[in-house]
Amino acid sequence: MVDIDVKKIVAGEFSWKTLPPAGMIEIPTSIEYKTGTWRIEKPVIDQSKCTKCLICWIYCPDMSIKRMFDGGVEVDYEFCKGCGICAEVCPQKAIKMVEE
């Protein structure tokens, strides 16, 4: 097995020889890809309206709604792509999409 430095691959420092065969790479690797840079609009949570129902946490396709110790939620802006699903499903309309 080739020893893979994911950070180097992300930084573009690789050749066909140093990439793992067929991309069979040890996970987690997606942690190195900061997909938050793709975002045009960001979700902003109005914590005063949030009832901690966790529907946004369930629906988020990128696991970018983080559960906090108080049972509430925050957005992980490093990875949130700004799809807006959380704002759409929030029954309290506590999440607004705001232009970056």
Partner 1 sequence: MSELRPLRKMALTGDEAVAYAAKQADVDVVAAYPITPQTIIVERLSRYVADGELNAAFIQAESEHSALSICIGAALAGARTFTSTASQGLALMHEVLHIASSMRTPIVMAIANRALNSPLNIHCDHSDVMNARDTGWIHLFANNVQQAYDLTLMAFKIAEDPDLLLPVSVNMDGFILTHSVEPLEILSDEEVRQYIPHIPYPYRIDFDRPLAYGVMALPDTYMEFRKQLFEVTRKAPQVFRKASNIFSAISGRSYDLLTPYFVEDADVIVIALGSTIETLRYAARRFRERRLKIGVVGLTMYRPFPEKEIVDVLENARCIAVLDRAYSYGGVGGPLYTDILSTLYKNQIGVMIADFVYGLGGRDLKLTDIEQLFNKLFKSLEVGRFDQDIYWWGVKDD
List the one residue from 5, 13, 26, 88 that touches partner 1 (CB under 8 A). Answer: 26
CB of 84 to partner 1, least distance (A): 23
The answer to whether the beta carbons of residues 34 and 77 sit under 8 Å apart is no
Comparison of 28 and 71: residue with beta carbon closer to partner 1: 28
Distant-in-sequence, close-in-space partners of 34: CB < 8 Å, separation ≥ 6: 78, 79
- Determine the size of the site formed for partner 1 (CB under 8 A): 15
Looking at the DSSP bridge assignments, the partners of residue 99 are 41
List the one residue from 3, 7, 13, 23 that touches partner 1 (CB under 8 A). Answer: 23
